[in-house]
Amino acid sequence: MKEIEALAKALRNAKHVVVLGGAGVSAESGIPTFRDALEGYWSKYDPELLATPEAFRRDPALVTRWYDERRQKVLACQPNDAHRALVEVEAWCHEHASTFVILTQNVDGLHQRAGSKDVVEVHGSLLKWRSTRSNQEVEDLPIPFRTYPANAPDGGLLRPGVVWFGENLPELAVERVELELARADLFIAIGTSGIVYPAAAWSEVARQNGAFTAEINRDPTPLSSSFNMVLRGNAGEILTSLISEIRGG
Ligand code: BV8
């Protein structure tokens, strides 16, 4: 694919590389993407309605169970070729005195399990839970929870450490995103449908700041036409080809 050669060339010329990852990066690990038809029990629920503070207030048992089942699924999955290739790209960038960061919308922790060092979880993590009373994170959680909803030691309920629709992104994550978008000279969006804001706006911010932007996605997205380059296909395959291209394989 000539786009792989072009992306490898852009990577060689870049000093500050930013990856925006979405559910398509974890798809090949067997984790359903956000908008794929949900499996079984969840097929009758709209994830965008379940992933809200209102849903948790209305039915904390249902929402806790949904997240607990997703947590167990994620823990049973393994990082895939896309995660592994991104660890390689990060290492290659550091060997060539470039910065590299993954801004992930995923909440599954697979980039960290694959060995990526610099990962910003802009939508939080399914593996972290906190008390609704103190907002403090609670460690050593039972898997699965013994009751739905699950109780925090301080008498509150346990809620997942994810960003729900209608909630602001973590302040530290937003600060880091702003810093990285200001200096990026290469921005690569991988496996994201470009529907959820503010993350869906970041490729345009990077481009306006002078970055070369590329989209790696199995399907077209509403943002595809705004990227400098589109690589159509599976993230695992494309990123594996990219790493062998930059290592001269
Ligand atoms: C915010 C964590 C300020 C939870 C997620 C009305 C009221 C309030 C807010 C809004 C509103 N209207 C709009 C908004 C803003 C809203 C929003 O954008 N809504 C959308 C639906 C329009 N955003 C927010 O609320 C954000 N906060 O704006 O705060 C504010 C505050 C109050 C009031 C107003 C504003 C918070 C957004 C974060 C929500 N939390 N996740 C959980 O996981 O349960 S978002 C959720 O969607 C996931 O994190 C996911 O990552 C994210 C985006 O989805 P994608 O990653 O793109 O996944 P998707 O399935 O969509 O696409 C997968 C892609 O991969 C596809 O393109 C597919 O083709 C491709 N693919 C598949 N397989 C492969 C592949 N590509 C390559 N290889 C493969 N193998």
Q: Would you state the pLDDT for residue 202? A: 98
Mean of the per-residue pLDDT values of the chain? 95
Predicted confidence band of residue 1 (pLDDT cuts 50, 70, 90): confident
Does residue 35 fall inside a structural domain? no
- Among residues 15, 57, 81, 45, the alpha carbon closest in space to that of 149 is found at 57
Q: Which of 29, 33, 230 to mutate to test the pocket of ligand 1 (most atoms within 8 A of CB)?
A: 33
Measured in Å, residue 104 CA sits from the centre of ligand 1 at 11
- Per-residue model confidence (pLDDT) at position 37: 60
Same domain? 67 vs 182:
no
Confidence of residue 45 (pLDDT cuts 50, 70, 90): confident
Q: Phi-psi region for residue 210, left (φ > 0), alpha (ψ -120 to 50) or beta? A: left
Q: What is the pLDDT of residues 124-162, one digit of tens each?
A: 999 999 999 999 999 999 999 999 999 999 999 999 999
Residue 216 confidence (pLDDT) above 90: yes
The closest-lying atom of ligand 1 relative to the alpha carbon of residue 165 is 25
Residue 64 confidence class, pLDDT cut points 50, 70, 90: very high
Q: Residue 78 in contact with residue 108, Cβ under 8 Å?
A: no
Closest CA to 191 of 6, 3, 19: 19
- Domain hosting residue 217, numbered range: 2-30+78-123+168-248
Say how many Å lie between the CA of residue 195 and the centre of ligand 1.
Answer: 6
Whether 173 and 61 share a structural domain: no
Residues 237 and 180 in one domain: yes
| Residue 172 falls inside a structural domain | yes
Whether 96 sits among the annotated catalytic residues: the reply is no
Say if CB 201 and CB 189 are below 8 A apart.
no
Q: What angle do CA 188, 228, 12 make, to 5 degrees?
A: 55
- Statement to judge: residues 83 and 204 lie in one domain: yes
φ, ψ of residue 36 in degrees (nearest 5): -70, 160
Q: CB under 8 Å to 188, separation ≥6 — which residues? A: 7, 17, 18, 19, 20, 213, 214, 215, 216
User: Ligand 1: which of 70, 111, 188, 196 to mutate, most ligand atoms within 8 Å of CB?
Assistant: 196
Residue spans of beta strands (DSSP E) within 122-185: 124-131, 137-138, 158-162
Question: Please, what's the b/e burial string for 92-102 (b: 16 or more CB within 10 A of its CB; e: otherwise)?
Answer: bbeeeebbbbb
**Neighbour count for residue 73 (Cβ, 10 Å):** 16
Ligand 1 centroid vs 48 CA: distance in angstroms?
A: 8
Tell me which amino acid residue 139 is: E
Q: Residue for token digits 């694959």? A: 114
Position 38 scores a pLDDT of 64
Q: What is the mean pLDDT of residues 205-231?
A: 98
- Of the pLDDT bands very low, low, confident and very high (cuts 50, 70, 90), residue 48 is confident
pLDDT of 72 strictly over 80: yes
200 CA: nearest ligand 1 atom: 18
**Residue ranges lining ligand 1, Cβ < 6 Å:** 22-24, 27-28, 33-35, 48, 51, 105-107, 123, 162-168, 191-193, 195-198, 217-219, 221, 234-235
User: Once rounded to an integer, what is the mean pLDDT over residues 230-241?
Assistant: 98
The CATH number given to whatever domain includes residue 222 is 3.40.50.1220
* Domains identified in the chain, total number: 2
pLDDT at 39: 64
Cα–Cα nearest to 103, from 170, 31, 7, 165: 170
Report how far ligand 1's centroid is from the alpha carbon of 198 (Å). 9
The residue with greater pLDDT, 37 or 111, is 111
The single residue of 16, 83, 111, 123 carrying the catalytic annotation is: 123
Pick from 113, 138, 162: which residue ends a domain?
Answer: 162
Whether residue 234 has pLDDT greater than 90: yes
The confidence score (pLDDT) of residue 46 equals 86
- In this prediction, residues 195-203 reach a mean pLDDT of 97
Residues 157, 230 share a domain: no
Distance (Å, whole) CA 159 – CA 170: 15
Q: Per the structure block, which two tokens stand in for 1?
A: 């694919």
pLDDT at 240 exceeding the cut of 70: yes
pLDDT of res. 7: 98
Q: Residues 16, 186: contact at Cβ < 8 Å?
A: yes
Is residue 15 a part of any domain in this protein? yes
Distance 228 CA to ligand 1 centre (A): 22
Query: Do residues 83 and 70 both lie within one domain?
Result: no
Scanning 140-221, the segments in alpha helix (DSSP H) are: 171-183, 202-208
For a substitution probing ligand 1, which of 29, 50, 123, 165 has the most ligand atoms within 8 Å of its CB?
165
Residue 249's pLDDT is what? Answer: 61
